[in-house]
């Protein structure tokens, strides 16, 4: 009995450690992304002409600090969307693991689901590789044809609208 509880506790701590590792990795990635954006913005600022623009600031508590003017604007902060997403996924994993470990009915339902899933996968009839290749080529060709057609229509319409605009503005300014 105690061996089962010890195993469950060990599994719980392993999941908690995994979630903590994900949080640490996410904050490291966010910090690296912010640093890369800051570096890219600074490099872009060096190549552009400098102008005087008003200093911008973020509202208090937004998690972003903005300093500088114009092209030297530097933002430092965390990517909260990524952190919140990873946190929600981590909480969901923990809840599902706890349900699986401590709720016998849930565990039986999960086992039944995967057993039925495996039996359904065995019933699938896969197409031969030759048919898959042929169908893939057809899809790629049709997608390229539509892309080319849409591109041509885009060029024709944009030139047509600019010609109409030039005619209208030219006739208005001539009168």
- The pTM score is 0.34
pLDDT in tens, 86-113: 888 888 888 888 888 888 888 898 899 9
Contacts of 110 (CB under 8 A, 6+ apart): 100
Segment 141-149 mean pLDDT: 97
Partners of 77 in beta bridges:
64
- C-alpha span between 71 and 34 (Å, rounded): 16
Nearest to 102 by CA among 5, 3, 1, 2: 5
pLDDT in tens, 113-135: 999 999 999 999 989 999 999 99
DSSP labels for 94-130? HHHHHHHHH-HHHHHHHHHHHHHHHHHHHT--PPPHH
- C-alpha span between 82 and 25 (Å, rounded): 11
């Amino acid at each position: 009995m105690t061996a089962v509880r010890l195993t469950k506790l060990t599994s719980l701590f392993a999941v908690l450690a995994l979630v903590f590792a994900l949080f640490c990795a996410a904050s490291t990635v966010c910090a690296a992304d912010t640093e890369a954006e800051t570096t890219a913005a600074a490099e872009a600022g060096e190549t552009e002409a400098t102008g005087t623009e008003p200093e911008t600031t973020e509202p208090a508590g937004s998690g972003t600090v903005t300093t500088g003017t114009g092209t030297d604007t530097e933002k430092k902060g965390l990517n909260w969307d990524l952190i919140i997403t990873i946190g929600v996924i981590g909480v969901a994993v923990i809840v599902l693991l706890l349900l699986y470990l401590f709720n016998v009915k849930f565990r039986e339902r999960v086992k039944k689901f995967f057993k039925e899933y495996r039996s359904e996968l065995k019933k699938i009839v896969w197409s031969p590789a030759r048919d898959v290749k042929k169908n893939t080529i057809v899809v790629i060709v049709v997608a390229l044809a539509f892309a080319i057609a849409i591109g041509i229509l885009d060029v024709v319409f944009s030139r047509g609208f600019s010609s109409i605009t030039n005619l209208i503005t030219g006739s208005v300014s001539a009168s």
